[in-house]
Structure 1
Amino acid sequence: MSDPSTLPIGSLDTHVVDRGTGAPVLLLHGSGPGVSAEANWRLTMPALIEAGHRVVAPDLIGFGRTVPPPDHVYDLRSWTDHVVALMDTTGLERTAVVGNSFGGALALRLAIEHPDRIDRLVLMGAVGVRFPLTPGLDTVWGYRAGVVEMRRVLEAFVHDHAMITDDLARMRLAASIEDGADLRFAAMFPEPRQRWIDAMASDDDELRAITAPTLIVHGREDQVIPTSTSQTLFDLIPDAQLHLFGRCGHWTQIEKAAEFNALLTSFLGPPV
């Protein structure tokens, strides 16, 4: 496959980063405005490739360069089905999957609905259980395009606000409005937003039935997804381990990149 590539997944042209060789790892990004697979995983993919893995990282429906028809209805079912179809197209018969935030809810559905295809599961500040809407998540999902508004969103993601520069805010703003991305984003999680959290939650019995070894990661200072969600997942998933990073917000893969990459590659183990 060329890198990067646009693949027809059903009737939808899907932007996919597919790099490296070896045991595959499917990377599912979060739901911030202007996000893409490349932006979300830019510090993660090199470490996985160096460790001998193939990484497959799609722009999920409505994000990045995966643009659905204007009448597309965004919901957990369509996002999950799209990922399964992507796995079929890219030959991922069995894979590890890493889900960041919103991507964690999709990763959980894959582990619940297709246990034979998920080798290991990694959840990072994951949506997927019920919790009260936080001010941070309300800020993210309620984003309306602007430099000040984007800076507010980015600062909600990190513990160290010094990481958020004007250049970064302008770059992410540009990504958030490219090709009508802001209009697509506004259609995903309109008010009242608590319903979207609830709609992406899996049932407790489903979580207890997950068989994949699971690594759960969270930043202690996360203002977007409360750490209690990861504690709940840890309590319910049988073969799970939980790691909390101190002085870290929602972007564990950015704020604690080296530590996160070491933890991730250790958990995944040497490629077979």
Structure 2
Amino acid sequence: MTALRTVIVDGSPVHVLESGTGPAVLMLHGSGPGTTGSGAWATTARALGASWHLVAPDQAGFGRTPVPVGSRGGLRLWTEQAAGLMDALGVEQYAVVGHSMGGAVALALAGARPEQVTRVVAVSTMGAPGAPLSADLDAIWAAPAGPLGARDMLSRLVLDQALVTDEAVDARASAMRAGAAAFASLFPAPRARWVDDLTLSERTLAAIRAPVLLVHGAEDRVTPLATAARPLLGHLADVRLHVFGRCGHVPAIEHPHEFRELLSCFLRRDRDD
């Protein structure tokens, strides 16, 4: 059973997609305008089935989750809100899957809550020390709400341009317009500072004890493999890297079946131990 609901975390509402029962998996979306938890992860959640307790929130400033009064977006807020959400749900241990910005949050959460986070899957992740702001990420954060901005953004996210359909563009444009006011406060120019905000310190990375799976596209231009995933190999105690050839920034869309098999196999190890 899949449900959309609102959970109060530290006095502020968080909109959440929940499905299934069993071992808990927190799923964190990326940072593009119009991104939501359900939009990013609903297809993957359905494919994984009902034997996992999947939790996919809209992070603060995205979808139907506002930035708390007196705060602004950023790694600290998103990490604390993710931890607070699982506390509010009464979940004591859980795996975390994060895409792009969500990957950085997932890794930060694993460093902050080593007794609770059992596994991490960081997909096309941000967070590596020294990673620069790519031209494509800069353009995505600056994309104007509407069909032209949506088409340009989607074309940068995927290698296979056949995936940039009119239907996909229209859906993303609608989501961008709905969230435009909140998103405008998150990544104003100059945008390199927001990459810096999402960068994890060597101390944080060294504190991560959970097994980590890095998943990346070989042709990712938004968070390039060479500067985003590979540097993390030298900082994480228990890590492996899976690279999809002929793949851009969103492996879950460009290689959906293989991605879900990879994800399920890695997460299932907790159930088999």
Question: 2:65 matched to 1:82?
Answer: no
Q: Give the alignment's TM-score, normalised by structure 1.
A: 0.94
Corresponding residue for 1:18? 18
Letter in 1 for 2:127: G
Query: What is the Cα deviation at residue 49 of structure 1?
Result: 2.4
Corresponding residue for 1:214? 212
Query: What is the Cα deviation at residue 155 of structure 1?
Result: 0.7
Corresponding residue for 1:59? 58
The correspondence of residues 77-226 of structure 1 with structure 2, limited to 5 A, is 77-129=76-128, 130-178=130-178, 181-226=179-224
Root-mean-square deviation (Å)? 1.6
Q: Distance in 2 between matches of 1:260 and 1:2?
A: 21
Query: What is the Cα deviation at residue 233 of structure 1?
Result: 1.2
Query: What is the Cα deviation at residue 234 of structure 1?
Result: 1.8
Letter in 1 for 2:137: L
Runs of at least 5 residues in structure 2 that lack an aligned partner in the other structure:
none
**3-12 or 106-115: which moved more?**
3-12
Query: What is the Cα deviation at residue 166 of structure 1?
Result: 1.7
Query: What is the Cα deviation at residue 67 of structure 1?
Result: 2.1
Render the CA deviation track for 1:1-53: whole Å, top value 9, x for unaligned. Answer: 98111111122111111110111111000011111111101221023225x21
Q: Contact 1:43 / 1:254 at 8 angstroms: preserved in 2?
A: no
What secondary structure does 1:61 align onto?
A: coil
What secondary structure does 1:191 align onto?
A: coil
Query: What is the Cα deviation at residue 203 of structure 1?
Result: 1.2
Query: What is the Cα deviation at residue 71 of structure 1?
Result: 5.6
Report the number of matched residues.
269
Q: Distance in 2 between matches of 1:254 and 1:216?
A: 16
Render the CA deviation track for 1:66-125: whole Å, top value 9, x for unaligned. Answer: 123676412211111111110111122110000100001111111111100100011001
Query: What is the Cα deviation at residue 245 of structure 1?
Result: 0.2
Q: Distance in 2 between matches of 1:126 and 1:205?
A: 18
Query: What is the Cα deviation at residue 204 of structure 1?
Result: 1.8
What secondary structure does 2:97 align onto?
A: strand
Q: Distance in 1 between matches of 2:167 and 2:98?
A: 27
Render the CA deviation track for 1:149-187: whole Å, top value 9, x for unaligned. Answer: 110001110000110112211111111111xx1121121
Q: Distance in 2 between matches of 1:59 and 1:104?
A: 14
Q: Distance in 1 between matches of 2:268 and 2:2?
A: 27
Runs of at least 5 residues in structure 1 that lack an aligned partner in the other structure:
none
What secondary structure does 2:260 align onto?
A: helix
What secondary structure does 2:27 align onto?
A: strand
